[in-house]
Structure 1
Amino acid sequence: MAGLRRDRDELRAETLTDRAPAVERQHALGKRTARERLDLLLDPGSFMEIGMFRRRSEGPDEPAGPRTDGVVTGSGTVDGRTVFVYSQDFTLSGGSLGAAHAAKIHKVMDLALANGAPLIGLNDSGGARIQEGVLALDGYGGIFRRQVRASGVIPQISVVLGPCAGGAAYSPALADVTFMVRGTAQMYLTGPDVVEAVSGRRVTHAELGGAEVHGARSGVATFVHDDEEGCLDDVRYLLSLLPSNYLEPPPAAAARSAAADVRPRLAELVPVEPNRPYDMRTVIAEIADDGEFMEFHEDWAGNVICALARIDGEVVGLVGNQPMVLAGVLDAAASQKAARFVRFCDAFGVPLVTLVDVPGFLPGVDQEHAGVIRHGAKLLHAYCEATVPRIQVILRKAYGGAYIVMDSRSIGADLSLAWPTNEIAVMGAEAAVNVVHRRELAAAADPGALRGVLMTRYAERLTHPYFAAEHGLVDDVIDPADTRAALARGLAALRGKREIAEPRKHANIPL
């Protein structure tokens, strides 16, 4: 037994020993090793490795592959809560995925789903192992199938810390949240060489699929960071806002007496004039506990803001129009962004607060041809389908179909609150008058004076702050200073909400 133990310890030490030249190359690229990343992500001493000795073995006449097969898998804790994780090892065969590599990932995915615990994938791989042919492709298929099975059941977080090419890119795309690191992370289906061969255009890895591209243009990356330490620290923070699975409530913090918290600064932050811009982030900071919130897709579709925060210790999802970007209109990209966030929150029991200041959908040929109708329908579908507590707050304008889509009472908001500055109408007074009274204006001796009279009459009759409340479409007109308190009381009242979904296989969201 003493000899067996010694052999076992030597083999384990050999497996755990990093290959110095490969590690040096990894560090020179600004990247950490697979195990160093796990040390940053998990609570100290909590990692339990699974499949350390797994390796590729084709037959008696072929040399066996290295142990771990280029991926470190297992479980650990983050702030004391169990998570399952895999971390690809680029220092070993470029982190390429073969049958044994995939089998290890399949194992932790199955365990994560069976135990109702979050799954975190640290991606740093050259892609499918060409030498294994279809076996590698089959391995990817097994990962994707498991991701879809786990979708909406457990949080799935993908962290891209190096290359993630070819079919491998679909794993981050299927995850709930994707993190990328500037300068080192790249994600694309076909690399620069293939792009040049097909199109004749030369591009770098970063230009084709770097973190900036996916953070600001494609919307594939949810969060983009400057370094691995900050990235993995934010993964830990995100986990503190999410439940372990869909059957558990989001983790609550200590109550903050928010129900009596008056914030007079809110009335100062938002101009009364409907066309003057302001930063919706400042409003969210006043509403959230300690002014803290975690914004999703910060650099993509900036005309809508999606963020997780706490109000009175409870986690909420915030969706708000951003008047600083395109006047806060909804367009195709913003609709996609908000729809995915709404469905994400609904899947994991996170209540939704929608802050409305929207002049409508962005008009134009490009938007119509880009399918803004279909993308807007995604957001409409997401809200209509959501069963979590939902509160709408109308700060200023809410015009046309965009008012409906931004969680109006008509599509199922539980509570609708409005500031005294609210204007809810099919369109603004000037546009409405130009349409309805076109002939009178054309025949008038002084069209400007008549337009002013007609606009005042239209506003007094249809867009005054209490019109929607008088017709039951707004539950209360509140002082802006009371917004945080009203939300805290409303969320507390709705905490016991239960809604049974329609019996069907699944809805057919307009993807």
Structure 2
Amino acid sequence: MPHSEFASAHEERRDAALAMGGPKKLQARADKGELNARERVDVLFDKESFRESGLFATSQFDSDRHATPADGKVTGTGEIDGRTAGVIAYDFTVKGASSGNVSNKKMAYMKAMAAQRGLPLVYLAESTGVRMPDIMGGTGMGGGNEKTRFLRRRESPWVSAVFGYAFGSAAWHTVSSDFAVFRKGAVMAVSSPGLVSRATGQTVDREELGGWKVHSRITGFADAVADSDEEAIELVKTFLSYLPSHNGEAPPVAAVSPGSGQKAQELTEIVPVSRAQVYDMRKVVDIIADTDSVFPIKAAFAKNMITSLVRIDGRSVGVVANNPMFKGGAIDTDAIDKVISFLVLCDSYNIPLVFLVDQPGFLIGLEAEHGRAAGKIINWMNALALVTVPTATVMLRKNYGQAYANMGGGLTTDAAAAWWTAEISFMDPRSAVGVVHGIDPDKDPEAFERRFDEMARESTGYDAARVFGVQEVIDPADTRRFLIDSLRDHQLRRTHGVGEHLLSSWPTSW
């Protein structure tokens, strides 16, 4: 066969693969304002940097050979702001991006490559799940190798963007990822609404089953929410900018934003001295961090606890903070899960941690106990004990009970400071008077006041400093300076900013 015929045949095959599910399906997506898989890849990567792997793959079954270009998955590598990353993009125009044996091999190849070569891996997720004809029967079920398919050791970051339906591996990869953004309208569940309805005999609403509101507010699987495909992918890129390409290097250092640290004096205006008054801790985080560098994680889930990636002096830092605006800053079981997940993320990728504390303790009661609060509290303590990145704590106002230790007190972090407004004790003194003496302040105010003074004694930041419970008592305006200096003092110099990753195999979901 002449060379020209080989070239012509090659172009025909290439064009067929790039045509995906055909012009009608592609146009239908465009009409709805949804990008197709290849368009999403183009948005993700720097211009003309994508290198595809597996373009000519198809189903292994002859009956589906011409109906499965790239076998429904677009995979390869490219550059994101000049750094190499891998991608697995689900092509919904090809059999609903269902997973067959060949596309599973493509995905396994990319996962292994990312882990071995130190590349972030991005999932652009949208799938109906497994390709049923391929998996039915003993030969279908028995032919797989599932042992380590979804094992995470966090050698390099996994990031997911969920667009439409996400069932099967699209869901499994999303909940296995270090960061997941859901486009509004996306639905992720173990099974489709139709299958659930047939199995239960009940009509199931897809949004109620696993819509973006459910996963951002109730399950916490959604770390962020986007209005469009483009915004979702932009959030993926922004998240990766805070992380190293792999766990064997420190995160990248950015230029310090103009104006950073210049609003420090406003902290005393934002945070009232009276612990009975609420305020929004997010404003404190904004002032302490470099200007416009705050990237919230799970912002709509467990709002009483803030977890955000930020930059302080140009360096990536993870912030864990109570927010008195919600539940008075008390810590419930959802907040515990949120914090543990964040500790795992930061320690796995060499990101120092900062705790900003203003909390009345763990939320108690039937719901907390039935929600396994005791076990979760100790899981948090175990995770914190395994953290090997630099850590620092700042106690702003109230800091009570066991949560004192969970939030970085009791020498559970490398450095600790208290604002001169801090109040540290086992319990709110008012509650302690009732517990210990049974005095009602309304019935016997004089006795209550006397016992209150007794219970409130030696509870200032200076009292904690006297026994070296904190290393410094600081002016609120000096908080950013304390954090910069403390994290610098505790830098992992011997390992060039790389921790021990003792949490790297911690379960990815709760």
Question: TM-score normalised to the size of structure 1?
Answer: 0.92
Are 1:26 and 2:29 an aligned pair?
A: yes
| 2:369 paired residue number | 368
Q: Secondary structure at the match of 2:460?
A: coil
* Structure 1: stretches of 5+ with no match in the other structure: none
Shift of residue 359, structure 1, vs aligned partner = 0.2
| 1:490 paired residue number | 486
**Structure 1 residues 504, 154: CA separation in 2 closer, same or farther (over 3 Å shift)?**
closer
Q: Secondary structure at the match of 1:74?
A: strand
Q: Secondary structure at the match of 2:403?
A: helix
| 1:400 paired residue number | 401
| 1:465 paired residue number | 461
Shift of residue 198, structure 1, vs aligned partner = 4.3
Partner AA of 2:91 in structure 1: D
Residues 293-332 of structure 1 mapped to structure 2, 5 A cutoff: 293-332=294-333
Shift of residue 50, structure 1, vs aligned partner = 0.5
| 2:417 paired residue number | 417
**Structure 1 residues 275, 29: CA separation in 2 closer, same or farther (over 3 Å shift)?**
same
| 1:220 paired residue number | 221
Indicate conservation of the 8 Å contact 2:278/2:325, yes or no.
Answer: yes
| 2:175 paired residue number | 173
Q: Secondary structure at the match of 2:269?
A: helix
Partner AA of 1:230 in structure 2: E
CA distance, structure 2, for counterparts of residue 9 and residue 237 of structure 1: 36
| 1:41 paired residue number | 44
Deviations 1:266-285 (A, max 9, x none): 11110100121100100000
Partner AA of 1:352 in structure 2: L
| 2:275 paired residue number | 274
Partner AA of 1:399 in structure 2: Y
CA distance, structure 2, for counterparts of residue 475 and residue 133 of structure 1: 61
**Structure 1 residues 228, 484: CA separation in 2 closer, same or farther (over 3 Å shift)?**
same
**Structure 1 residues 505, 11: CA separation in 2 closer, same or farther (over 3 Å shift)?**
closer
Partner AA of 2:237 in structure 1: R
Q: Of 105, 126, 137, which aligns to 1:103? A: 105
Q: Secondary structure at the match of 2:203?
A: coil
Residues 140-159 of structure 1 mapped to structure 2, 5 A cutoff: 142=146, 145-149=148-152, 151-159=153-161
| 1:189 paired residue number | 190
**Structure 1 residues 478, 261: CA separation in 2 closer, same or farther (over 3 Å shift)?**
farther
CA distance, structure 2, for counterparts of residue 55 and residue 209 of structure 1: 31
Shift of residue 407, structure 1, vs aligned partner = 1.9
Shift of residue 289, structure 1, vs aligned partner = 0.5
CA RMSD of aligned residues (A): 2.8
Are 1:8 and 2:10 an aligned pair?
A: yes
Deviations 1:252-276 (A, max 9, x none): 0125699986710011110100121
CA distance, structure 1, for counterparts of residue 187 and residue 82 of structure 2: 32
Deviations 1:72-128 (A, max 9, x none): 100001000000001111111111110011111111111111110101111111110
Deviations 1:462-481 (A, max 9, x none): 31231111011111010001
**Structure 1 residues 236, 507: CA separation in 2 closer, same or farther (over 3 Å shift)?**
closer
CA distance, structure 2, for counterparts of residue 29 and residue 259 of structure 1: 41
Partner AA of 1:353 in structure 2: V
Shift of residue 137, structure 1, vs aligned partner = 5.9
CA distance, structure 2, for counterparts of residue 30 and residue 58 of structure 1: 33
Deviations 1:55-77 (A, max 9, x none): 12335x88554330111100001
Residues 371-386 of structure 1 mapped to structure 2, 5 A cutoff: 371-386=372-387
| 2:57 paired residue number | 54
Shift of residue 193, structure 1, vs aligned partner = 2.9
**Structure 1 residues 330, 455: CA separation in 2 closer, same or farther (over 3 Å shift)?**
same
**Structure 1 residues 503, 56: CA separation in 2 closer, same or farther (over 3 Å shift)?**
closer
**Structure 1 residues 29, 375: CA separation in 2 closer, same or farther (over 3 Å shift)?**
farther
Indicate conservation of the 8 Å contact 2:400/2:424, yes or no.
Answer: yes
Indicate conservation of the 8 Å contact 1:57/1:65, yes or no.
Answer: no
Q: Secondary structure at the match of 1:289?
A: coil
Q: Secondary structure at the match of 1:375?
A: helix
User: Greater CA deviation, 173-182 or 330-339?
Assistant: 173-182
**Structure 1 residues 191, 420: CA separation in 2 closer, same or farther (over 3 Å shift)?**
same
Indicate conservation of the 8 Å contact 1:258/1:488, yes or no.
Answer: no
Identity between Structure 1 and Structure 2 (%)? 34
Q: Secondary structure at the match of 1:82?
A: strand
CA distance, structure 2, for counterparts of residue 86 and residue 138 of structure 1: 25
Shift of residue 3, structure 1, vs aligned partner = 2.5
Residues 445-464 of structure 1 mapped to structure 2, 5 A cutoff: 447-459=444-456, 461-464=457-460
Shift of residue 418, structure 1, vs aligned partner = 0.8
**Structure 1 residues 139, 211: CA separation in 2 closer, same or farther (over 3 Å shift)?**
farther
Number of aligned residue pairs: give it.
502
Shift of residue 224, structure 1, vs aligned partner = 1.2
Partner AA of 2:445 in structure 1: G
CA distance, structure 2, for counterparts of residue 445 and residue 504 of structure 1: 50
CA distance, structure 1, for counterparts of residue 104 and residue 68 of structure 2: 15
Indicate conservation of the 8 Å contact 1:388/1:497, yes or no.
Answer: no
Shift of residue 209, structure 1, vs aligned partner = 0.7
